[in-house]
Amino acid sequence: MQQINESNWPKKLTHFEGNFKSIAQSHTKPNAILRAWLLNQSSLTTKLQNHFGDFQVEVVSECWINNSQAKQFFRQALKNKQFKIDRLWCRKVNLKCNGNIVVRAHTLVPLQTFHNQTRRIGKLQNKSLGHFLFTHKHIQRQPITILNVEKSHWARQSIFNIYGYPLLVTEFFEPDFLNKNQK
């Protein structure tokens, strides 16, 4: 698979940084329109398709990682510092609408989750993770947390549990994503 350059990815997504909080705990609040996007509980893929029309997933990278900082980032999101992690399946994608990147998504899947429930994630290629997550009968989503990365850059994070096995999705919204080539 071709690897896309990650140099234009936000540092907080590539270096596993950030203290994500609930909207109530966040010191900086997004405007009402952005808040609706960040806190949307349904499929982001479907919402982007409905808003923009044209939609593609561009895979930046997919690989196994054994990175202590990534493991700590996962445990922090899970709010379980003792959660055992051997390795993580790491998938980074650009979600594009009308040819423009509107969201950068980063998924971390612990080895035990991958082997027990989600092997299909490793075979998604340029298909949306959202389609898999929102058509699976036994998925539970924990509350969404948000992060004001810098000025008008916002991100959200969700833990999804499949039969009790967690995976972490972090989505970074481009600052002007709502203004990019609407349908």
Please give the average per-residue pLDDT across 155-170, as a whole number: 90
Per DSSP, what are the bridge partners of residue 57?
95
Query: Strand, helix or coil at 89?
Result: strand
Going by pLDDT thresholds of 50, 70 and 90, the confidence category of residue 17 is: low
Identify the pLDDT of residue 31.
87
Helix spans in 10-144 (H): 11-14, 32-38, 44-52, 68-78, 111-116, 129-135
| pLDDT reading at 4 higher than 60 | no
Identify the pLDDT of residue 1.
41
Percent of the chain with pLDDT over 90: 29
Please give the average per-residue pLDDT across 20-44, as a whole number: 86
Strand pairing category for 139-141 and 100-110? unpaired
Q: What is the dihedral of CA 31, 12, 167, 104, to 10 degrees?
A: 60
- Structure-token match 């994630």, residue found: 121
| pLDDT reading at 30 higher than 90 | no
Which 8-state DSSP code applies to residue 86?
Answer: S
| pLDDT reading at 162 higher than 90 | no
d(CA 70, CA 114): 16
- Structure-token match 């609040």, residue found: 29
Domains located in the chain, CATH noted = 13-177 (3.40.1410.10)
Identify the pLDDT of residue 148.
86
d(CA 98, CA 128): 16
Please give the average per-residue pLDDT across 44-62, as a whole number: 91
Please provide the average confidence, as pLDDT, over all residues in the chain.
82
d(CA 32, CA 111): 38
d(CA 179, CA 149): 19
Identify the pLDDT of residue 48.
92
